[in-house]
Chains A and B, each alone.
Chain A
Amino acid sequence: MRHHPAQSARTGSTRLSEWLRSGPLPGLLPLVVLLVVWELRGTSDSPFFPAPSSWWPALFRRGQGDTILPAVADTVRTFGFGLAAATILGVALGLSVGASKRVGRAAGPTFEFARALPPAAIVPVATLLLGFDETMKVVVVVLAAIWPILLNTSSAVRGLNPTLLETARSLRLSKTRTLFGVLLPSVTPSVILGIRVATPVALVITLLVEYLTAVNGLGALVGDAQRTFQPARVYALIVIAGLLSLIVNAAVRLIEDGVMRRRVGDLR
Chain B
Amino acid sequence: MEPSYECSNLRAEVGSRHGERRLVLDDVSFTVAKPEFVSIMGRSGVGKSTLLRVLAGLHEPSPGSIVRFDGQQVVGPPEGVSLVFQDYTSSLLPWRNVAKNVELPLEGSLGKTERRQRVFEALEMVGLADRADAQPFELSGGMQQRVQLARALASRPTVLLMDEPFGALDALTKAELEDQLLGIFAATKTTVVFVTHDIDEAVYLSDRVLVLDGSPARIAADIRVDCLRPRTQLRTRESAEFLAARHQVYEVIFGTL
Which A residues form the contact surface with B (CB < 8 A)?
161, 163-164, 166-167, 169-174, 177, 181-182, 185-186, 188, 262-266
- Give the chain B neighbours of A163 by CB distance below 8 A: 85, 87, 90-91
The reply to whether A170 and B77 contact each other, CB–CB distance below 8 Å, is yes
Interface check B58, CB cutoff 8 A: yes
Give, as a whole number of angstroms, the nearest-CB distance from B20 to chain A. Answer: 18
The reply to whether A263 and B137 contact each other, CB–CB distance below 8 Å, is yes
CA distance in complex: A265, B98 (Å): 14
Give, as a whole number of angstroms, the nearest-CB distance from A206 to chain B. Answer: 32
Give 9 pairs: A residue, B residue, CB < 8 Å, sorted on A: A161-B90, A166-B85, A170-B57, A171-B104, A172-B77, A173-B104, A177-B107, A188-B95, A262-B135
The reply to whether A185 and B137 contact each other, CB–CB distance below 8 Å, is no
Question: Given A166-B85, A167-B85, A170-B58, do A263 and B94 touch, yes or no (CB 8 Å)?
Answer: yes
- Annotate B140-153 by CB proximity to A: 1 below 8 A, 0 otherwise: 00000000000100
Interface of B is mostly: loop
List 6 extra interface pairs beyond A170-B58, A177-B107, CB under 8 A.
A170-B77, A171-B105, A172-B105, A181-B104, A186-B94, A186-B95
- Give the chain B neighbours of A166 by CB distance below 8 A: 58, 85, 91
In this complex, which of A167, A169, A185, A186 has the most chain B Cβ atoms within 10 angstroms of its Cβ?
A: A167
- Give the chain A neighbours of B83 by CB distance below 8 A: 170
CA distance in complex: A108, B76 (Å): 33
Give, as a whole number of angstroms, the nearest-CB distance from A102 to chain B. Answer: 12
Taking CB atoms and an 8 Å cut-off, the chain B residues in 35-92 that contact chain A are 56-58, 76-77, 79, 82-83, 85, 87, 90-91
The reply to whether A265 and B93 contact each other, CB–CB distance below 8 Å, is no
- Annotate B213-252 by CB proximity to A: 1 below 8 A, 0 otherwise: 0000000000000000000000000000000000000000
Question: Given A164-B91, A177-B108, do A265 and B85 touch, yes or no (CB 8 Å)?
Answer: no
Q: Which residue of A lies closest to B107 (CB)?
A: A177
- Give the chain B neighbours of A181 by CB distance below 8 A: 93, 104, 107
Q: Which residue of B lies closest to A176 (CB)?
A: B108
Q: Which residue of B lies closest to A168 (CB)?
A: B104
Give, as a whole number of angstroms, the nearest-CB distance from A169 to chain B. Answer: 6
The reply to whether B104 and A265 contact each other, CB–CB distance below 8 Å, is no
Other-chain residue from B90, B91, B93 in contact with A185 (beta carbon distance below 8 A): B93
Interface check B138, CB cutoff 8 A: yes
